[in-house]
Amino acid sequence: MKKTIMLISMMMIVFIFNGFTLFQNKDKKAILFVNFGTTYNDTRVATIDTLQKKIADTYKDYDVRLAYTSRQIIRKLSERDGIRIDTPEEALKKLKADGYGTVIVQATHIINGEEADYLKREVASLKDDFYVIKLGHPLLTHIKDYELTMKALQLQYSELKADEAVVLIGHGTHHPSTSAYAMIDYFFQDASQNVYFGTVEGFPSYDNVLTRLKKNGIRTVTLMPFLFVAGDHANNDIAGDEEDSWKSMLLKEGFNVNVYLHGLGENEAIQQIFIEHIEHAITNKEIDMKRKKAGYALGK
């Protein structure tokens, strides 16, 4: 009798501390599609909604759910449109409550910056709530990603003359991952393309890009957002009529300025890179560095 009571007690402890995973179904699978978000409905339809549908069409045995990371955008959409979008943490807790055992989290982050780090911590904090939970990579992660992104971006413009250039402008960050912008810039330099990368908040800055444009004798510039959606930054900081927008400042410097006001999420080749990152998360095992180093120590 004591053994039976002890066994039941142990089962209850496991049940409680394992986050009620006895109710999780390993074969009930979901993809949590995470975005910073946008309040611009037209760009949302062309980017977030389009890629969400493509993910659902590609992975029919997974249910696809949506989350936004920007609390400001979530609040504004709720107040303005009566639409409530979950944060990643809220969405994951709902997936747990609904009995999902396998979850793939894929965000539309461009670089492995602060937003990507925060999401990684959120996912890690809930890893014991699922049999399997994996996080897909941001757009620019592996060398192959840079190569594919360069090819995808080349679909957005025609052959450039010697005095013409494309300037792609990302958000930017003070996180060490800002080096990703310089790296993708170098890919284009190495391919002898008149394509430059700048950021709204970080490096390369407007001044960095301006110096290079003048040095290389560029007269006509086409501005493109290096952002998943053409939202607030694209419409105001890049293409706006305010004095401190990139368009206004370049016009003041005497350049001819064109604007390509479309987010990266509208580019089908960029969409495909994110699909491939989901596939990688599904099919590849995560590397346990502690176990790997232990193997090295043993000469394996």
Q: Output the known binding site for Co(2+).
A: 171, 201, 233
| Bridge partners (DSSP) listed for residue 196 | 167
Q: 2 to each of 8, 44, 103, 144, how far by Cα in Å? A: 10, 61, 39, 60
d(CA 289, CA 134): 16
Q: Residue 34 pairs with which residues in a beta bridge?
A: 67, 107
The residues near 213 (Cβ < 8 Å, ≥ 6 apart) are 165, 167, 196, 221, 255
Which segments of the chain does DSSP mark as H helices, in order? 2-17, 41-44, 50-58, 71-81, 88-97, 114-125, 143-153, 179-190, 206-215, 232, 246-252, 268-283, 289-297
CB 150 within 8 A of CB 278: no
Q: Could you say which of 109, 171, 262, 277 is catalytic?
A: 171
What is the separation of C-alpha 239 from the centre of its chain, rounded to a whole number of angstroms?
A: 22
Whether 277 sits among the annotated catalytic residues: the reply is no
- What are 107's two structure tokens? 């965000």
Could you give the 3-state DSSP secondary structure of residue 44?
Answer: helix
Residues carrying an active site annotation: 171
